[in-house]
Amino acid sequence: MIPRVLSGIQPSGNLHIGNYLGALGNWVKIQHDYESIFCIVDLHAITVYQKPDELRTKIREIAGIFLAAGIDPKHSRIVVQSTVPAHAELAWLLTCVTPMGWLERMTQFKAKAAAQESIGDGLFQYPVLMAADILLYQANIVPVGEDQMQHIELARDIAQRFNSLYGETFVMPATRLPAVGARIMGLDDPTAKMSKSASGTGHAVALLDPPDRIRRTIMRATTDSGSGVDFETMGPGVANLLAIFQSFSGWSDDQMRTHFTGVRYGDLKKQVAEMTISQLEPMQQRYREITADPSHVDRVLHEGAQAVLPTANATVQLVKEHMGIYTRGR
Ligand code: AMP
Ligand code: TRP
């Protein structure tokens, strides 16, 4: 059997180069080696308040970006999570085998909870829903950025616990990180992860940002008190700029050292900006072409959901049977 890949991105805020280098760009590269499913996880997005009209728009925008980046809809399935009800159904079934203590340890929950005045229960259950996304399709590989590793570990723990309570049911998924770019940092603050929800200009380069804006954001990036690149002593800002360049270019460590040692920060930033623009511009052009016909994205999403429904429903059926939940004819 061909191994299966599954991953997801939340339709909250603007996709940025961290999402691309940590996840989406990697999916495009590996998609044809696997049976691939890529989800737009709208049920995850609403764990914090989203304006309904913006959410609706974002879901389509992200589907357009997936296609523009090179996800091949003839081969890979692009699925809006909420259009396959089995995601939510399995999440409940898994909630019942997940100890609260496991969820209390999640660092992303702790960070998000600390930033909110009042926390919805959905935010707490978030990793169980993510486990359901993965286990629903018996995915073997989950390509993500570094910040999701703990959630995938949890999905494995839940799968193991379920299997030991109710008998062999779930395949164990494995995390796949990109070699470079698994954790892109904020350009304004290289000690914090680049994130969709961070406010302010200068923090992130969004995938649909026009070239002059990309140039401006990167030229203003925080570096350190040095003036030229020194691979032994560089601070996190310079390391982050180099990671962005290396990840977009695919250069080896040796090539990076030879080319950038001693290069002044201003020049480094110029080269990072031009590399980023040269990678994003063709994608932006394709995005405009793809979204010129709004029904195209809807068609792809409909076909994606139809294609995965049988697998999703079969897993829920199996889980119910193993748990003793009522199923017709048994
Ligand atoms: P999210 O933005 O939380 O929906 O994340 C979608 C995907 O992008 C996940 O696989 C994340 O691990 C990845 N990702 C998000 N932010 C970054 C970042 N700053 N660097 C690398 N990968 C990231
Ligand atoms: N929680 C992930 C994130 O914010 C998104 C996600 C939801 C996901 N379901 C998933 C990633 C399943 C991988 C597999 O980045």
- Tens-place pLDDT, residues 46-94: 999 999 999 999 999 999 999 999 999 999 999 999 999 999 999 999 9
- In angstroms, the CA 168 to CA 245 distance is 44
Would you state the pLDDT for residue 118? 86
Which among 29, 58, 110, 196 is annotated as catalytic? 196
Would you state the pLDDT for residue 201? 82
- Please name the amino acid found at residue 302: H
pTM assigned to the model: 0.96
Place of tokens 């809807």: 298
Residues of the chain predicted below pLDDT 70: 199, 330
Q: Tell me, in angstroms, the distance from the centre of ligand 1 to residue 18's CA.
A: 6
Would you state the pLDDT for residue 24? 98
- In angstroms, the CA 159 to CA 259 distance is 46
- Please name the amino acid found at residue 117: E
Using alpha carbons only, give the angle 144, 20, 37 rounded to the nearest 5 degrees: 55
Q: Is 40 in the pocket of ligand 2 (CB under 6 A)?
A: no
| CA 327 remoteness from chain centre | 34
Active site residue 320: no
The strand pair at 141-143 and 174-176 is best described as parallel
Write b or e for each residue in 253-266: b if 16 or more Cβ atoms lie within 10 A of its Cβ, otherwise e: eeebeeebeebebe
Mutate to test the pocket of ligand 2, among 39, 43, 154 (most ligand atoms within 8 A of CB): 39
Which structural domains are found in the chain, ordered by start? 4-177+293-323 (3.40.50.620), 211-289 (1.10.240.10)
DSSP state of 83: G
Nearest to 81 by CA among 134, 20, 148: 134
Nearest ligand 2 atom to alpha carbon 130: 9
Would you state the pLDDT for residue 328? 78
Angle between the 107-114 and 121-136 helix axes, to the nearest 10 degrees?
Answer: 150
